[in-house]
Amino acid sequence: MAKEVLGPLAELPSGTARRYDVAGHRIAVVRLGDDVYALGDRCSHADFSLSEGEINEDERTLECWKHGSEFDLETGEALTLPATRPVPTYEARVEGDEIVVVIDE
C-alpha cells in the first residue's frame, strides 16, 4: 500500500481536476467542495486524459473530453457510451489541509 501526499487542498479549486502520477499510476483527482475523488486518468474507451474533461458537480461525474463518456467519481463506472468498462478508483481524502491518495499495490 502506497500513501502519497499530493499537496494542499487549496491548490485544487473546487470543481476542477488535476492529473497526478503516483506509484506508477496515472490518477485524475477531482475536488468538489471539501470532497476529493481519485480515479484512473485514462479513459477506458481510448487513451485520453480524464483530468482534462468536464466535471458535472450535481451528478458527480467526469466526462472524457474526446468522446464524451462519463464516469462516476465514486465507483469509476462508465455511465455513457462509447466507454463500457470502468476506470479504477483510489482512496482519496483530506488530512489536515493536504490531499492524500492511497494506492493498494
Domain ranges, ordered by start, for the chain: 2-103
Answer yes or no: pTM beyond 0.75: yes
Q: How far apart are the first and last CA of the chain?
A: 5
Topology of domain 2-103, CATH: Rieske Iron-sulfur Protein (2.102.10)
Mean pLDDT in order along the chain per 10 residues (105 residues): 94 98 95 97 96 97 97 98 97 97 88
pLDDT of residue 3: 92
Classify burial at 95, counting beta carbons within 10 Å of its beta carbon; exposed 0-12, middle 13-18, buried 19 or more: exposed
Q: Which amino acid does the sequence have at 94?
A: V
Do 105 and 1 touch, CB atoms closer than 8 A? Answer: yes
